[in-house]
Homo-oligomer: A and B are copies of this chain.
Amino acid sequence: MRIEGKEYRTIWFENNAVKIIDQTKLPHQFIIKDLKTVKDAIKAIKVMEVRGAPLIGGTAAYGMALAVQENNDTEFIKKSAEELIQSRPTAINLKWAVDRMMKKLSGINSDQILDIALNEAKEICAEDEKFCENIGINGLKIIEEIYIKKKGTINILTHCNAGWLATINWGTATSPIYHAHKKGIPVHVWVDETRPRNQGANLTSYELNEEEIPNTIIADNTGGILMQRGEVDMCIVGTDRTLSNGDVCNKIGTYLKALAAYDNNVPFYVALPSSTIDWEIKEGKDIPIEERKSEELSHVEGVDENNKIKKVLIYPKKSKAMNLAFDVTPAKYVTNLITEKGICEASYNGLKELFKK
């Protein structure tokens, strides 16, 4: 998608380095950063220069290629794989991508191992892009149906950033929106600010602006009354991990919006590539929920009146804060899942029909 009129992907390989957009600097600065070693890739995931389940997966895949480029000794590759998997606990794609890379590389000791690794990472990213495009094509049908009835602008609420910046291209939750916009359906997006880290404001609103899609940032507290007032036609969010029973683990606060949507008969969709499905964990309460540093809450970065980036403490000095990164939305509050293979019920049967034939 576009930034300042130019087409980008979120990750690519060039001159022996993996190139990423440093997402901790957005929206105030647009900086392309080089990752040269697997340690760089692990750090980029940990400090969230890259984030979003699919992009974490893509970065982990390229991280494995960087490990091979550094040292193609089997032990080093194995250790790198383990470290990559540990870098963020909640995103399921991370493990999926690393496992897939390990499978591809296992038993290969030839000169071609780097090429094989790079090709596999590129293939993982290309597949994700195709998945996201298909999510858009499938989700577009839902928006079209609402548009046929409403005839006016479709108001869509989203939480956090499940946009193209969270994937390789198109995004998950945003892909149906981009597809609708390209087809000429008038859309307006309510963008949840998404505390902490404000990824809705910093990333989703930013990328929608760059694609010239009308959008309005709101506090995370606001979605409820907008739904009560009939100002939301549908919600679409992404997910970091979808259980086979349809429970959805996503950015903290998703659950509250799902409750409000349910209470006001607003359809609530979750968009996901099948790589985020966890067929193993059976119940939402068993998903490991990452607790991140409280500084992400107590300190905020922005630009001051001189256009300088400043970090400020916004809490009382004596106060403690606690920063859980995800919550779990029970399947019963999810209208449907939008996947690359089609739309299905948020349930074992729904997912099985599409993915376990």
Residues of A within 8 A of B (CB): 27, 191, 193-196, 198, 201-202, 205-206, 209, 215-226, 228-229, 251-253, 255-257, 259-260, 263, 284-285, 289, 297-305, 310-324, 326-328
> CB within 8 A of A224: which of B195, B300, B327?
B327
Residues of B contacting A328 in the complex (Cβ-Cβ under 8 angstroms): 225, 228
Contact check, B301 vs A312: say whether CB atoms are below 8 A apart.
Answer: yes
Chain B residues positioned under 8 Å from A198 (CB to CB): 314-315
Contact of B318 with A255 in the complex, beta carbons under 8 Å: no
* Residue ID in chain B nearest A27 by CB atoms: B316
Contact B311 A304 (CB under 8 A): yes
**Identical subunits present:** 2
Least CB distance, A356 to chain B, in whole angstroms: 28
> For A313, what are the chain B residues with a Cβ–Cβ distance below 8 Å?
302-304
In contact, B228 and A253 (Cβ under 8 angstroms): no
Q: Are A252 and B219 in contact (CB under 8 A)?
A: yes
**Distance of A200 Cα from B328 Cα, bound (Å):** 24
- The 9 lowest CB-CB distance pairs between A and B, nearest first, are A221-B253, A302-B312, A27-B316, A225-B327, A302-B314, A259-B259, A224-B255, A217-B321, A195-B219
Among A195, A220, A314, the one with the most B-chain Cβ atoms within 10 Å of its Cβ is: A314
Known: A310-B310, A322-B216. A222 touches B316 (CB 8 A): no
A148 smallest CB distance to B (angstroms): 27
Give the residues in chain B near A305, CB-CB below 8 Å.
Answer: 311
